[in-house]
Amino acid sequence: MSSSHSRLIWFILAALLCFVGFLYWQSQQTNGNSRGPGGPIAVKTAIVQSQTMTREVGAIGTGIANNSIQLIAPSSEFLIELNVNEGQKVAQGEIIARLNDVQQKARVAELEAVLSEQKRQLDRLKNLATTQATAQSLLDEQLTRVNSTLAQLDTARKQLQDMTIRAPFTGYLGLRQVSRGAFVNAGTVISTLDDMQQLRVQFSVAERHLAEIAVGMPVTVTNVAYGNRAFVGEVSAIDTRLDPVTRSVTVHGVINNEQILLRPGMLLNVRLQLENREVLRVSEKALVPQQNRQYVFVVDAENRVRQQEVQIGQRIPGWVEVVAGLQEGDEIIIEGVQKVRTGVTISKVEG
């Protein structure tokens, strides 16, 4: 039994030795393929260039009309005129609807007649006052009556004006909520009016980006209805408060929407551009991290390699900014860095 166990152990050791030898042979074959028989190491290189580096932050936003109101009835009355065509563009001051205003017109006419008579009486008292034939107190009383009637007339004229509903700004009418001839109560919604030639987009940005955001920064939005078509605008306002729950700040952007493609309430994918500048940038694959430092392998005119420490700045997916350590025009290794060391000769692989 002991002899059988011993033979099994020796067999296992021999098998392991053969396996290790196979792995060593395979690694030597791989190295030989990349170097050739005593030849240079095959790697891929790139020239360091100055390129535009853009940092963006993404968010989900909601479209909001630049100006948006509900057109409501100011009082309870019959609707005698209605000029609402859904989706129609109306100009500022254009009549949208008119309520029955007979009583208001009569009240204005009555007060105008009373005021005219009171002014005539006031003029007569002023003429008498010049001859000391009337008391100053009577003149004062009549002047008070005139001023009181003037105030009542202003109120009546305002009530008459309110019976006609006009567009307060140029925009597009929404759906009609009532019909002509209907009796409407005060506060009844007649329609909506939206100024959509400029669309505001509301979105939230994380607290860590607050110091980088400024009014005027470029904003790009997309919507599923238009595929990859981008609509460009800029930041118009930044909220003074942060949400204490999400620790984010609300930002408003303004998008030019003259073709009225975007609508209020749309779900928008927002890209806020935080930075856009010319930098030296290299592929992240070129970096060789060692402890707290970053290195790249630079190739000289004779295809020999030397290791160079670099200082890096901002990162974007796949790329990194080089602040110091390289110059524009330097050639560096971007693939195969694990196979080289300072002093070796390389062979450049295209593609």
pLDDT above 50 (res 118): yes
Classified as helix, coil or strand, 46 is strand
**Which residue type, as a one-letter code, is found at position 266?**
M
User: Would you tell me how many other CB atoms lie within 10 Å of the CB of residue 255?
Assistant: 23
Judgement on whether residues 121 and 173 belong to the same structural domain of the protein: no
List Cα–Cα distances, 51 to 26, 46, 328, in angstroms: 42, 14, 10
Give the pLDDT confidence score for residue 32 in this predicted structure: 44
CA distance 76 to 188: 9
pLDDT band at 71 (very low <50, low <70, confident <90, very high): very high
For 191, half-sphere exposure in the C-beta direction (CA atoms, 13 angstrom radius) is 25
Query: What tens digit of pLDDT does each residue of 275-304 get?
Result: 777 778 787 887 888 888 888 888 888 888
Is residue 310 within 8 A of residue 326, CB to CB? The reply is yes
Residue ranges making up the domain that contains 237: 57-64+195-277
pLDDT above 80 (res 106): yes
pLDDT above 50 (res 35): no
pLDDT above 50 (res 30): no
Position 316 in a domain:
yes
Give the pLDDT confidence score for residue 284 in this predicted structure: 80
Judgement on whether residues 175 and 78 belong to the same structural domain of the protein: yes
Judgement on whether residues 93 and 180 belong to the same structural domain of the protein: yes
Judgement on whether residues 174 and 209 belong to the same structural domain of the protein: no
Judgement on whether residues 267 and 333 belong to the same structural domain of the protein: no
pLDDT above 60 (res 188): yes
User: What are the residues whose beta carbons fall under 8 Å from the beta carbon of 159, sequence distance 6 or more?
Assistant: 75, 104, 107
Judgement on whether residues 227 and 321 belong to the same structural domain of the protein: no
CA distance 333 to 319: 14
Token pair of 19 as six digits: 């396996």
Give the pLDDT confidence score for residue 51 in this predicted structure: 79
Q: Each residue of 91-119: b (16+ CB within 10 Å) or e?
A: eeeeebbbbebeebeebbeebeebbeebe
pLDDT above 80 (res 211): yes
Last residue of a domain, one of 144, 162, 180: 162
Query: What tens digit of pLDDT does each residue of 313-347 get?
Result: 877 777 788 888 788 888 887 777 787 788 888 77
Classified as helix, coil or strand, 336 is coil
Q: Quote the number of domains for the chain.
A: 4
Q: For residues 133-151, give the mean pLDDT.
A: 80
**Cα 348 off chain centre by:** 45
Q: For residues 189-214, give the mean pLDDT.
A: 92
pLDDT above 90 (res 39): no
pLDDT above 90 (res 274): no
Last residue of a domain, one of 277, 297, 318: 277
Give the pLDDT confidence score for residue 24 in this predicted structure: 59
